[in-house]
A and B are shown apart, each in its own frame.
Chain A
Amino acid sequence: MKGEIAVMGIVLCVLFAGCVQQPEDETIKIGALLPLTGEVMIWGENTKNGMELALEEINKEGINGKEIEIIYEDSQCSPSKTSTSIQKLISVDRVNVVIGEICSSATLAAAPIAESNQVVLISPGSAADSISEAGDFIFRNYPKNMQITESVIEVLDNLGRNRIAIMYVNNDYGISLKENAEKIFAGEIAIAEAHDQKATDFRTTLAKVKEQNVDAVFLATYYTDGALILKQAKELNLDVLFVGPDVFDDPEVVKIAGNAADGIIFSTVKPGAGPAFTEFSSKYKNKYNKEPGFLADFGFDALNVIAEAMRQGNFEGEEIKNFLYDLKDYPGASNTITFDSKGDVANSALVIKTIKNGEIVLYEAD
């Protein structure tokens, strides 16, 4: 009997709590789905910091005299927890727009619920290509894997490389890059080898690559494993062109690889230090006493474009959606934002860089 009473008690608590939530009219509510705890909580925290920075400024003037209130839900990068969180944000908090999630799998779980409720979902951190097809109400201001792949392939094409090897990290990011490359690269992919995200020894793979006599190696990796690959390639006397995405735009690469990093060519879809970013960066340092971490600028921009939509009188999901599709060249900290018909940020100008004498510089063709 005691058991049944305990269960009833908890059920009643939840129902009561839910009913007691009075819709407040004094603030404009926006939902946020972020991994605030768990393995990737640093990304969630950074995004939140960026959003809070934007919020501060927005609420100085308010929107028609009202403040924006962000209701944060800790979705922990988990599809099922995300679905519960967004269901609560939509049906209990009655939000019309949700910023989130960071992990692609979580975003993909949230998308159908947002779509069927005509609530705008904008992800500041998900790169999976399939999100482009997730619905009309689904947006993201973070570059998707296909865009990253296209930028690297463009470099390869520009340099006339026809026979390449791919070394990729064995997760959704690396696998997407590799599969996308297989789809769009006109030349030959002689060999494609996966490695674990935490791997540190790539000699076996590099030996295989050496045998293949390719004219370039596409590194679909992060900067740590990428830098180690460069280092070990040099040790094995593997003299070939390495190309990669913008993860290599990081001084850590030279720290790890030393002079083996020289010669790598990489593309960036994210222009990085434009004036908007510099301004954002200094405001961030003022408020938080540290450099903006990964995704902080994306969170900042996501909230700002939503606030912009609201300033122009768009509060319903349908209205915000239309505004976003019409948005052109918004000067964001992370990027100049124009959304394409799929809700992704259209490619900004490609910037190609290289490492020369231990320095990251713009690439100039000889």
Chain B
Amino acid sequence: MMAVEVKGVSKHFGGVKALDNVSFSLRQGKTLGLVGGNGSGKTTLLNVITKMVVSNKGEVWFNDERIDTMPAYKIARLGVGRIFQTGGIFNNMTVLENLLVAANAEREEAEAVLREVDLHEKIDDKAATLSGGQMRLLEFGRVMIRNDELILLDEPFAGVSEANTKKIERVVRKLQKQGKTMILIEHDSRRIKRLCDKIIELEKGKIIREAKA
């Protein structure tokens, strides 16, 4: 089944075309690698899918349901999760609270999830005290406690230490084994080959290449 279908999506900001007639589909359980230079439209594409930005033209479908007409929170509730490039964590809340806001869960469940991302010792610490990589892992924790079906990852490895990079890759693999569908924005070509099933390359908002990884 097609988990994600993007049909003819265009978005411009002022005079600049951020996305130009983008169309592709992604099978359930597969991971799509999204590559391209700065400003090629990768983050905008994720924003359109999650409705953080409204497209000018086109449709987005998830699990045979049209989602571009829905408000952002409804799309999220369908099981669409996001790892942000920056600012995805609530700094002034504790690690535990960051998870509890994601899903109405008990403390034990949160602890279990934190164990999987190696953060259970920091459960009551303020999220601001975490390192960049730990914050990323916390976002993964949120995705896991929500049991998201479609996960959109915006450069999850950028600026992360060696140790944490390994941890994050481990988590990504685990989620893939669980059959999650993913769209991964990434620069490192070897990592893309390792983690993705297929690749789409964007340039100035247009798809210039679509291929198997």
Touching chains A and B, CB distance < 8 Å: no
Residues of B within 8 A of A (CB): none
Residues of A within 8 A of B (CB): none
